[in-house]
């Protein structure tokens, strides 16, 4: 390799390094609160088409992340619960375009059992299925009808 080729390669490498650093600066710029030292438990990533974008946070020791749609409504949430009975147990929630949770996947109960919850547009649990919350680990399917009546199709929900 001659000196001209080596110098040219060094220039191209330097240029791409600069551009990569510039892109990272824009993408990972801290929020005003973080930049001012007001919060070290919140991070936001957004652009001109999505003012909320993605927020990552730690609340009472429990981490979470929320993805927002362009309309500013929550679409995906994941993290761990900070409530006393469920502290540290993970969850994933999917929301409709209005920000209402429609599907929740989580661990619950003393068995820390996997549970899938499907909600109607009013936020009521309509289908709950998973493994038994306490005692054994048998599967269950629990439904709630339009009239509010409930039924365990198989297994025991509570």
Q: How confident is the model at residue 32 (pLDDT cuts 50, 70, 90)?
A: low
So what's the architecture of 37-154 in CATH? Alpha-Beta Complex (3.90)
3-state secondary structure 28-61: CCCCHHHHCCCCCCEEEEEECCEEEEEEEEEECC
Tokens of 128: 């709950």
- At 115-137, the pLDDT tens digits run 999 999 999 999 999 999 999 99
What average pLDDT does the segment 140-148 reach? 96
Q: Which residue has the higher pLDDT, 21 or 46?
A: 46
Q: pTM of the full predicted structure?
A: 0.72
Q: Residue 131: enclosing H or E segment and its boundaries?
A: strand 125-131
Cα distances (Å, whole numbers) of residue 3 to 6, 10, 15, 17, 87:
5, 10, 18, 21, 62
What average pLDDT does the segment 13-19 reach? 50
Share of the chain above pLDDT 70, in %: 75
């Amino acid at each position: 390799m001659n000196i001209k080729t080596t110098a040219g390669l060094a220039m191209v490498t330097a240029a791409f390094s600069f551009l990569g650093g510039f892109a990272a600066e824009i993408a990972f710029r801290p929020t005003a609160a973080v930049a001012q030292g007001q919060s070290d438990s919140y991070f936001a990533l957004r652009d001109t088409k999505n003012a909320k974008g993605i927020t990552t946070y730690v609340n009472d020791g429990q981490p979470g992340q929320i993805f927002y749609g362009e309309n500013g409504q929550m679409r995906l949430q994941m993290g761990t619960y900070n409530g006393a009975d469920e502290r540290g147990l993970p969850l994933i929630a999917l929301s409709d375009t209005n920000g209402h949770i429609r599907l929740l996947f989580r661990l619950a109960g003393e068995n820390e059992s996997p549970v899938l919850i499907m909600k109607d547009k009013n936020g009521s649990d309509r289908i709950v299925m998973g493994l038994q919350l306490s005692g054994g680990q048998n599967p269950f399917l629990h439904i709630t009808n339009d009239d509010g009546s409930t039924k365990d199709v198989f297994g025991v929900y509570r």
